[in-house]
Structure 1
């Protein structure tokens, strides 16, 4: 009978991971994400929004909630110093991510306990506890993130990174979709119209705790992924952290992503709130629009983006994706017509283009932080500085959108278009986001990638692959009917 190896037996790896050990390590990383995707999509969207709404968060506090992940990311800078000084990427990742998952338990229980047993007079304390634990939870992610990225840069070979991480995310969709739908079903089943705040809080808390338990399995599986030791950094801390800022390519890339994350910060929280408060749709429909439809779209486009990035480069992929998300951002302004179907279309198109941005961005950071062909280790300073720049922008963006929402709470504007309802602060947020997304395109033009091929070639490649995939899916029933008909005719001819 085979046995699981002791943790001490898998805590180190040979200098070069090849053959079966490499394939085994890549399998563990992939399987872990199946549990990670369930954790991430079970608590996102409607459960988190309904929990926060029931606690009584204001529009500004919703913006603050959206800014919390970006605030926590500032901890990636001292984490990067610790990682490069000790070389303990795996250990730091494991501790930080265990805390990240476990903190969902106090997020679920403490605010609920304060509200249910302390009464409405203690609601501000419940909100404070919720935001504080939410910040600490994301802090764990942001401390472990740089360690994980640098670690994976030395585990996953450069030649297959684009395809591997695209396929890994694609497989996570098969657990992410059931998680999102189960959460939506539970909310509709137990938190429908007329249900008490107590029932809503308890239901959301159960969802959070179950998701946390599954998420712990994700972290545990990384015990069995080998860790390639890296040399401890010897240069002074300030010099080490300033080194990425001397790389012009890195600076322009970070400027691009900073503007982009400022533009999209808070959109997830406010889109969910818009769907629940403004359109009054069910939790299952909310989960379908904000999670399930994007995941299904990713299932189609992820392998295409992975091949495109490996073949044409990261910059062309980001340019294509960023151009696509501009009209999608503006399109949410048309959702107040009362029709739900545009939300599914916008969610699908947004996911198709945003996936390209995310995969290209991840591979760019991975390239900068890993070990190159000459043996030079980029270090987690690149990851940390990029995260700090991007997340300061994201934090500012979340607070910016929250402030606009709070200031324009009672705002209404009649467009004069018969089929559109009066515009509210939601449409203002969506329009501002669309303009800023376009502005983020400008610094990207200055990013230099010598190996990249023309962006137009990548667009043609993407269009051709999408057409073939869609046409294949549409014509599949016809092919099956023809095959069955052909088999029947062949069988008849035999009897004749």
Structure 2
């Protein structure tokens, strides 16, 4: 039912006076409105919310009483769902001031029996299953394989750099995506990247020398990285076409919640199982069993990928001029983001490959405590992800990226504090890292889509990923080389290791790279200082005790 206290719109007043509307109106997404006719029959009509002033993204204007005018449903805003997507919103109350169109649209898509709804559910499920693959074939388990096979710190640094060194294949991956379509390339490449782990199931039981087994392990990791890069490029382009821009932040934040819960459970279970079996002398067989679980999860994830909708199943065959890459690198909106990705990933790589190694080797936490640390990070990401998704949709990705980048610069510095007898700083690090990395991931993903036109999106994604991958790979290899040249231990105020030097350098490099976020421009984004003020006031109101009235 339409509320009785709605103020008449200017168009309705002007029509009653026989005058034309005096202001130009901006059309927004149509909303289905139900009323009752005099004979009590239900009447449904599609209305488009209009406004005479510029609207903030994700909000219905700056007036408490937005006007309505009946208009064709084809006149949609730039952030409405693409053509062919059926979005149904039925409301019994009027859309009031502060109503979030993105929330209404996401709820409507989720309740509509369409290919988009099915694809969203399949994408959530695929992300959950993929986390089981990652928990059994990455992270701490990857380091466990390396230590089991006798890898040195330099080798561990190189292994950590492989997935990022493979980013140079983003450009061939973009060509494959453009030539064959994102869905078929994503499904094929991701399947190969996960099933290539099949030899690792039998590796602990095959009588090979330590050096040969380590080479096989490195080859598997390298092949998985190569196929993963090609698949990730195609998957990102696919999601950019599939998910409407108006609800993209909410979609990825919700997906982040689901996959983080799954990753928490899977990582904790894998760490506990590996600790328990390793204590009984079954470390090799337990690693092989985890590889089997990873391959099984990979098969299920490929099935769920094939179940998702392709918005453009028939594509015209186009010959792309490779000079478009030069155009991408020279594009004024994309260039600051490109330099940021290069510097930021290099700064992160100085320490990222060594956190798990530091916990297992220097802090002697064991796999269960290392997994518990991951659980804490994941729990914080689950709590903070909805907030960051709403913030990106409402204020823009740029202010979120700036705030999170400067905050993440403090994360490596916190790793200077823990010792084997003093581990509680890891809890504070988990809270800070989980909160800020969750926002950083959502903002970076949304900004990648915002800066890449749909026609050239695979090439934009390829250039962005190549810049970040090269920065990470080079810095990770240099970090491993530096760690191997420094003394294993030396005394300062506390007993430090060679990895503490890397943590300190990474903190300084991240702080310097964060300054580059200030040069990134995003159309319609709010001012960074205003956004930081809103976040500080909201956090203060949430943390400080409220006064009791009376």
Q: Which residue of 2 aligns with 1:7?
A: none
1:343-367 CA distances to partner (integer Å, 9 max, x unpaired)? 1211220121122111111111123
Q: Quick one: structure 1 residues 308 and 275, their matched pair in 2 at CA, closer, same or farther if it must change by over 3 Å?
A: same
Distance 1:283 1:448 in 2: 42
1:227 pairs with 296, 299, 310, which one?
310
Q: CA RMSD in A?
A: 2.2
SS in 2 for 1:412: strand
The question of whether the paired residues in 2 share the 8 Å contact of 1:85 and 1:232 is answered with no
Q: 2:84 matched to 1:16?
A: yes
User: 1:409 offset after TM fit, Å?
Assistant: 4.3
1:119-174 CA distances to partner (integer Å, 9 max, x unpaired)? xxx22221111111101111111101111111111110000101110111101222
Distance 2:420 2:369 in 1: 17
Q: 2:525 matched to 1:452?
A: yes
Distance 1:223 1:39 in 2: 17
SS in 2 for 1:62: helix
Q: Quick one: structure 1 residues 468 and 140, their matched pair in 2 at CA, closer, same or farther if it must change by over 3 Å?
A: farther
Q: Which residue of 2 aligns with 1:39?
A: 133
Q: 2:150 matched to 1:56?
A: yes
Distance 2:420 2:202 in 1: 38
Correspondence 1:408-427 to 2 at 5 A: 408-415=486-493, 420=494, 422-427=495-500
Correspondence 1:285-300 to 2 at 5 A: 285-289=369-373, 291-300=374-383
Distance 1:17 1:106 in 2: 43
SS in 1 for 2:147: helix
The question of whether the paired residues in 2 share the 8 Å contact of 1:100 and 1:138 is answered with yes
Q: Which residue of 2 aligns with 1:482?
A: none
Q: Which residue of 2 aligns with 1:98?
A: 191
Q: Which residue of 2 aligns with 1:254?
A: 338
User: 1:336 offset after TM fit, Å?
Assistant: 2.8
Q: 2:210 matched to 1:161?
A: no
Distance 1:237 1:113 in 2: 50
Q: Quick one: structure 1 residues 233 and 413, their matched pair in 2 at CA, closer, same or farther if it must change by over 3 Å?
A: farther
Correspondence 1:125-164 to 2 at 5 A: 125-164=212-251
Q: 2:462 matched to 1:384?
A: yes
Correspondence 1:210-289 to 2 at 5 A: 210-229=293-312, 231-232=315-316, 234=318, 236-265=320-349, 267-289=351-373
The question of whether the paired residues in 2 share the 8 Å contact of 1:308 and 1:462 is answered with no
Greater relative CO, 1 or 2 (CA 8 Å, sep 6+): 1
The question of whether the paired residues in 2 share the 8 Å contact of 1:405 and 1:429 is answered with yes
Distance 2:536 2:382 in 1: 16
1:321 pairs with 404, 409, 421, which one?
404
1:365-385 CA distances to partner (integer Å, 9 max, x unpaired)? 1233453xxxxx232000001
Q: Quick one: structure 1 residues 235 and 445, their matched pair in 2 at CA, closer, same or farther if it must change by over 3 Å?
A: farther
Distance 2:402 2:521 in 1: 13
Correspondence 1:321-360 to 2 at 5 A: 321-336=404-419, 338-360=421-443
1:23-81 CA distances to partner (integer Å, 9 max, x unpaired)? 22222211221212222234333322122101010111011011011112221210101
Larger radius of gyration: 2
**Taking structure 1 as the reference length, what is the TM-score of the superposition?**
0.83
Q: 2:276 matched to 1:189?
A: yes
Distance 1:337 1:217 in 2: 40
The question of whether the paired residues in 1 share the 8 Å contact of 2:192 and 2:227 is answered with yes
Q: Quick one: structure 1 residues 158 and 250, their matched pair in 2 at CA, closer, same or farther if it must change by over 3 Å?
A: same
The question of whether the paired residues in 2 share the 8 Å contact of 1:153 and 1:370 is answered with no
User: 1:216 offset after TM fit, Å?
Assistant: 2.3
User: 1:333 offset after TM fit, Å?
Assistant: 0.9
**Taking structure 2 as the reference length, what is the TM-score of the superposition?**
0.76
The question of whether the paired residues in 2 share the 8 Å contact of 1:249 and 1:447 is answered with yes
Q: Which residue of 2 aligns with 1:396?
A: 474
The question of whether the paired residues in 1 share the 8 Å contact of 2:343 and 2:471 is answered with yes
SS in 2 for 1:249: coil
1:103-130 CA distances to partner (integer Å, 9 max, x unpaired)? 12223433x345xx13xxx222211111
SS in 2 for 1:225: coil
Q: Quick one: structure 1 residues 247 and 107, their matched pair in 2 at CA, closer, same or farther if it must change by over 3 Å?
A: farther
Q: Which residue of 2 aligns with 1:6?
A: none
Q: Which residue of 1 aligns with 2:506?
A: 433
Q: Quick one: structure 1 residues 337 and 178, their matched pair in 2 at CA, closer, same or farther if it must change by over 3 Å?
A: closer
The question of whether the paired residues in 2 share the 8 Å contact of 1:107 and 1:134 is answered with no
Q: Which residue of 2 aligns with 1:488?
A: none
SS in 2 for 1:423: strand
SS in 2 for 1:279: coil
User: 1:465 offset after TM fit, Å?
Assistant: 5.0
